[in-house]
Structure 1
Amino acid sequence: MSDNISILDCNWDLCPISASWFGYRPSLPMNATFLAIFTIAFTAHIFLSVHYKTHGFGICMSIACGLEVSGYIGRILAYNNPWSLPAFFIQINGVGLAPTFFAAGIYLCLTRIVIAYGADISRVQPKVYTYFFVLCDIISLVIQAPGGALSSVSASQGKPPTLGAYIGLSGICFQVLSLSIWLGLAAEFAWRCRKVGTKAWDPRYEQLRDSWRFKAFMAALGIATAALYVRSVYRIAELSEGYTGHLAKDEIAFCILEAVMIAILALVTAAYHPGYGFGEAYGPISEQKALYLPPWKKGAFFTRDLKSRDIPVELSVQSKTCARTDGI
């Protein structure tokens, strides 16, 4: 490519493929496959959220899958024209922002898991896992979104979107930090459960904990979280070099560490959906969750403080088919 030719004027006759936004011609079969996978996952999560009335989880997962669908549409458009600005914009914003919503959906699950084992065992009260970490996810999104917008502006001027990539990188770093803290609290809760022994676990949900569907859901959630973590670490390494770095122009790495990881996340959380995993206990657990104060209230962050103030943290479950009062 001649130095006086802008990337905005490039085409197959004037510029080599290495000079395109992607650095390669996106694979049509690969991207069509992932488009189909995320379209199926998108449809499944919408259906399951309506069927099980898991509105909060369903909204997060559906938005995430929808963004992935748009991202792979962008990559398919780039097959015909790797210098296409719209294709580049759609890809970086769709594929880049979707995992933030996947993370929010994962965060929502831990609250009910804690209640199923025993809320009084947890160091922090159950709503902390929802409100605090979803807030962290919103902050991550607020940081990443301007990065994508700035990248789009730079690209529209024919300039490398370096600054936008670094802003997006800071948002992903924050996301990995909050996910790491969430994993730390989850691991600590598991350790506390083991320490107190099964006799101290909430007896009302013993049948739930012993069911294979709940165990399958727990395993699926672990796989989904690990896949998200791997993808996020890869994304940090990728964006640390900017959109023109070696990793950003390696489609095989993108396929394995981005596309496959997120596809695993989307599919396992649909196959072993929390509404399916918790079954009839979902409603009673939701009612118990509703009893807790918002964690930003004074003395409402740690479980021990709730007990010292005689705030009710238990709910007598009269029926396993209680109406669901909390869709989050």
Structure 2
Amino acid sequence: MSTGLPSGVPPNVKVFGPGANCTLDICPVEMSVYGYRPDLAANITFLSLYLISATIHVYLGFRWKTWFFMGCMVFGAINAVLGYAGRIVMYYNPFNFAAFMVQIICITSGPVYYSAAIYVTLAAAIKYFSPSLSRFQPNLFYWIFIPCDVVCLIFQAVGGALSTASAGTSRIGVDMALVGLSLQVIVMVAFCAFFADYLIRYFRAGSTERFGIRCKLFFGFMALAIVLILVRCSYRLVELRNGYRGDLIRDEPIFIGLEGVMVIAAVFCLMISHPGFVFKSNVKGDDTESSTREYELHESPSVISSSI
């Protein structure tokens, strides 16, 4: 009687799930959930880059006392390190279900922390430059967008947990992860719209010439980080649409480019656009001191830094 398994594969093997007992010795890699062995060099590279980024963000966090921003960046890096460690384990055994679930949960939910860092930093920028030009109190950005970000994280984490409990067979877990990713995109686009409205009002007020090089780098790389994260989230939405058996989830080069490269590039963009370089730059008397002093400062730098 046919078992539906390729020739040479024992009849009692389990390919996917908590009790998976396939190994490369008895099962072809094409039978695994990804259909390939994760690239060892690429995953070691990403893991190393996240460790480096976490180290630098810890230094910058203590240097400028930007505790919330540092915490978000470090937690995001820890998630990524765990995720890529899981993919490294899967290089040696692509059928390792525990490693699969660790990497799917950690890599999928990691950018939520970076989104939170962006929301708080740009809200603090409104306080720092000219809060009177904002249509809303800057604190509302904290109270609206950070809770939404937490909800995104919960949906993605719970979705991954449900997938683990069902050995990836339940559609509910995948759908919850999709809801979390969709909400993350919607929230980030909404935030960008509000902040773009603020910048337009700010420039119309005649403050464009006051932007020093640090401010241009800050907003430029912050905007680039947002675009990179949005591209990545859009890719994951399409990837998970067909669950763990779709074609896109089995395409590693696309994963490396649209997940790995997009997110680590965003992390280093957020390093260049670190809030300390702008909000604390006038303390050092550097090239932006003359311009930042002209801004309509309604709160001291110490108050601003306490919120990021």
Q: If the length of structure 1 is used for normalisation, what is the TM-score?
A: 0.81
Contact between 1:214 and 1:278, CA under 8 Å: does it hold in 2? no
Rounded to whole Å, the distance in 2 between the matches of 1:84 and 1:63 is 25
**In the alignment, which residue of structure 2 is the partner of 1:123?**
135
CA distance in 1: counterparts of 2:214 and 2:246, whole angstroms: 44
**What displacement does 1:215 show?**
1.7
Q: Determine the C-alpha separation between the residues in 2 that align with 1:316 and 1:40.
A: 33
How has the CA–CA distance of structure 1 residues 192 and 161 changed in structure 2, closer, same or farther, with 3 Å as cutoff? same
SS at match of 1:9: coil
Cα displacement (A) at 1:131: 2.2
Equivalent in the alignment of 2:164:
152
Aligned equivalent of 1:326:
306
Give a deviation string over 1:133-153, Cα, whole Å, max 9, x none: 111101111211110101111
Once the 2 structures are TM-superposed, how far is the Cα of residue 10 of structure 1 from its aligned partner?
Answer: 1.3
Deviation at 1:281, TM superposition (A): 5.2
Q: Following the alignment from structure 2 to structure 1, what is the Cα–Cα distance between the partners of residues 230 and 299?
A: 37
Deviation at residue 280 of structure 1 after TM alignment: 4.0
Give the unaligned 5+ runs of structure 2: 284-295
Aligned counterpart for 2:122 among listed residues 92, 110, 113:
110
Question: 2: CA distance between counterparts of 1:106 and 1:19?
Answer: 40
Letter in 1 for 2:178: L
Query: Mean Cα displacement is larger for which, 107-116 or 272-281?
Result: 272-281
Asked if residue 184 in structure 1 is aligned to residue 212 in structure 2, the reply is: no
Number of residue pairs aligned between Structure 1 and Structure 2 = 285
Aligned to 1:241: 242
Cα pair 1:160 1:244 within 8 Å, conserved: no
Deviation at 1:22, TM superposition (A): 2.2
Residues 222-277 of structure 1: CA distance to partner in whole angstroms, max 9, x if unpaired?
Answer: 11111110001111101111122111111111101000010001112123311123
Q: Share of identical aligned residues, percent?
A: 33
2:26 alignment counterpart:
14
How many angstroms apart in 2 are the aligned matches of 1:196 and 1:210? 13
- The corresponding residue for 1:166 is 175
1:190: Cα distance to partner?
1.7
Structure 1: distance between partners of 2:297 and 2:25: 71
Task: Tell me: CA distance 1:314–1:47, structure 2 relative to 1, closer, same or farther (3 Å).
Answer: closer
User: What is the aligned counterpart of 2:93 among 67, 81, 102?
Assistant: 81
Mapping for residues 262-277 of structure 1, pairs under 5 Å: 262-277=263-278
8 Å CA contact 1:110, 1:129 repeated in 2: no
Give me the whole-angstrom Cα distance separating, in 2, the residues matched to 1:31 and 1:240.
24
Whole-angstrom CA distance in 2 between matches of 1:112 and 1:195: 20
Deviations 1:113-172 (A, max 9, x none): 2123311111111112222111110111121111010111122xxx53543122101111
CA-atom RMSD, angstroms?
A: 2.3
Asked if 1:94 is matched to 2:102, the reply is no
Alignment of 1:187-206 (within 5 A): 187-198=196-207
Change (3 A) 1:316 1:83: closer
Distance across 1 between alignment mates of 2:135 and 2:298? 19
| Residues 53 and 327, structure 1, Cα contact 8 Å, conserved in 2 | no
* Deviation (angstroms), 1:314: 7.2
Q: How far apart are residue 197 of structure 1 and its match?
A: 2.8
Is 1:143 equivalent to 2:143 in the alignment? Answer: no
Which residue of 42, 51, 61 corresponds with 1:49?
Answer: 61
Alignment of 1:218 with 2:219, yes or no, is yes
Structure 1 unmatched ranges of 5 or more: 283-312
Give the match's secondary structure for 2:100: helix
* CA deviation after TM superposition for structure 1 residue 327, in Å: 4.2
Q: Distance in 2 between matches of 1:66 and 1:106?
A: 18
Separation of aligned partners in 2, 1:145 and 1:79: 24
Residues 54 and 73 of structure 2 are in contact (CA less than 8 Å); yes or no, is this contact kept in structure 1? yes
Check 1:261–1:171 CA distance in 2 against 1; reply closer, same or farther (3 A cut). Answer: same
